Structures are given as C-alpha cells and as structure tokens.
Amino acid sequence: MKFSAISDVHVKVSGDNAENLLLSFLRHPDVQSSDVIFLLGDIFDLMIGPHSQYFARFQNYFTELKKLLENGKRICYVEGNHDFHIINLYKKFFQVHKDLDHSLFKMAPTFTYEDAGKKIFFAHGDTIELNNPSYKVFKAIVTSPPLRFYANNLMPHFLIKGVGEYSAEKSRKRNNKRYSTEADLTPVKENFRFSIETYHRRHPHDIYVLGHSHVKDYYESDNGFLYVNNGYAQHTRTFICIENGKVSFKNLD
C-alpha cells in the first residue's frame, strides 16, 4: 500500500502560501496515487466548529477534497489544536455532496494501518508529547464537553474569523523567528523522541508518523521502531510518503 501524510500547514486565508502548499500536496502525483491520504492536524490555522462559511473561505481545498473522493481515495483526518470540533463541518460537506461516498472519509484521534509486515501509527502528536503541562491544561479545556457544545452551537463564525485574522501576522513573525535556528529546535526534537520512546513501551508499533512539534525528524530507535515528523510544512516544504513499508520525504517545490 501507499500512504501520504502532511500536518501543520496552518492555512490562514485563501490564497496564502500555506494554502498553495496544501493544494500542491493534494495535487501531487504521489498523493494522487496513494491508497490513503492523511491530514494530521493543524491543516488550518484556526478552524473551529461546523460553520458553512468555511466552504466559501476555503473553496479550493474543499474542491480538491471532493476530487480525491470522487477518484475513490481514502482520506483520514486527525484534528489538531488549531482545527478541532469540525466533525459536523464534514457531515455538512457530505450532506451537500450526496453523490460522494462518505465512508471514504474518516476522522479519529489516531489511525493504525498494517502493511508490508509493519504496524504504522498516525496521529497529530500532541497527546503523546510529555513534559508540557500547560498544553495539557489547554487541551483539556478545548476538548471539554462545554466548549464542544459552545463550538458546535453558539460560537459565531465572525468571531473565529476575526481572531484568526488578528493573530495571522503575529503568528507568522513568531514562527519565522522560532524556526530560524537548529539549536532552538533541539530540545523540542529530543523531548518528542523521549515521548515516543515512552509511548512505544505501552503501544508498540513499527512506524510512528506525527506532527505538532513543528520539528522535522527521522528517528530510528534502538528499540526497533521508526519515528518520522514532517515538521512545520511551510518551512520544510515536504510531506511524508510510505510505500510498501518504506518511508521517505517528498518535496513540494
């Protein structure tokens, strides 16, 4: 089998560099020929709730998604910490496009596939990361039933759009600074390796594909597994491809 995966694209507005990168991924020959395509969270910089306005704001993305489904491609979406409480959005998508096979599109916190004698694990990565207690508190709040109810029923779209536009420029400057030197990334990389070593002891797999850290990594553990992370897609400009159990990074330029 052939799998393609990307995460942490952080599309802010239609037409920005991130959206162009996402469309390049969805149109890439290796993605088009994949059996399963994984969108592993933070595809959008701020997408919360089931608002139909997203279909117009990100029309190019939903058009490409529709084409892939029409071609029989299986798509797996893992919510991140920037795009969450969106399962009802995709229910609306399939209500609009009744001709599409909704069984081809799956949403879950994690996915596991077995292929070529290997057990492969896909997730966003935030629930696996250790030594980040403040994020755990944030995650507990945003996934709580009260906030889920608010996001799905009460949170207005104009509020999400306004917050997203306000934070877009600050986020761009912060990320450009944060990911400018390798030395700044080393502690994050080491912590994710430690986290996946810990996770592996309880949940053994042969290959782990994660995002969230924004740090690209290809880590072959002495304990016999492989951990890969595509990093912050706007900087790495790559995605992960797994074919017959072999992992590689594919360029999007």
Residue 235: name the closest of 154, 177, 153 by CA. 177
Question: Band of the pLDDT at 172, cuts 50, 70, 90?
Answer: low
The backbone torsions φ and ψ at residue 145, rounded to the nearest 5 degrees and listed phi first, read -55, -40
Q: How far apart are the C-alpha atoms of 200 and 38, rounded to whole Å?
A: 21
185: DSSP letter = H
| Sheet hosting strand 226-230, strand order edge to edge | 110-115, 118-123, 207-210, 226-230, 216-220
Task: Tell me what pLDDT residue 160 has.
Answer: 78
Look at 201 and 150; give whichever has higher pLDDT: 201
Task: Tell me what pLDDT residue 80 has.
Answer: 95
Task: For residue range 92-143, list pLDDT tens digits in order.
Answer: 999 999 999 999 999 999 999 999 999 999 999 999 999 999 999 989 998 9
Mean pLDDT across the chain, nearest whole number?
92
pLDDT greater than 80 at residue 184: no
Task: Tell me what pLDDT residue 158 has.
Answer: 81
- The three-state DSSP-derived secondary structure of 193-231 is HHHHHHHHHHCCCCEEEECCCCCEEEEECCCCCEEEEEC
Q: Which domain holds residue 49?
A: 2-251
Greatest extent of the chain over all pairs of C-alpha atoms, in Å: 50
Q: Which two tokens stand for residue 206?
A: 């042969």
pLDDT greater than 70 at residue 178: no
Average pLDDT over residues 209-229: 97
Number of domains the chain contains: 1
Share of the chain above pLDDT 90, in %: 84
Question: Band of the pLDDT at 62, cuts 50, 70, 90?
Answer: very high
CATH code where residue 97 lies: 3.60.21.10
Average pLDDT over residues 173-201: 79
pLDDT greater than 80 at residue 59: yes
Task: Tell me what pLDDT residue 210 has.
Answer: 98
Task: Tell me what pLDDT residue 167 has.
Answer: 59
Average pLDDT over residues 134-159: 89
The pTM of the full predicted model, rounded to 2 decimals, is 0.93
pLDDT greater than 80 at residue 28: yes
Look at 13 and 167; give whichever has higher pLDDT: 13
pLDDT greater than 70 at residue 176: no
Look at 158 and 125; give whichever has higher pLDDT: 125
Task: Tell me what pLDDT residue 206 has.
Answer: 98
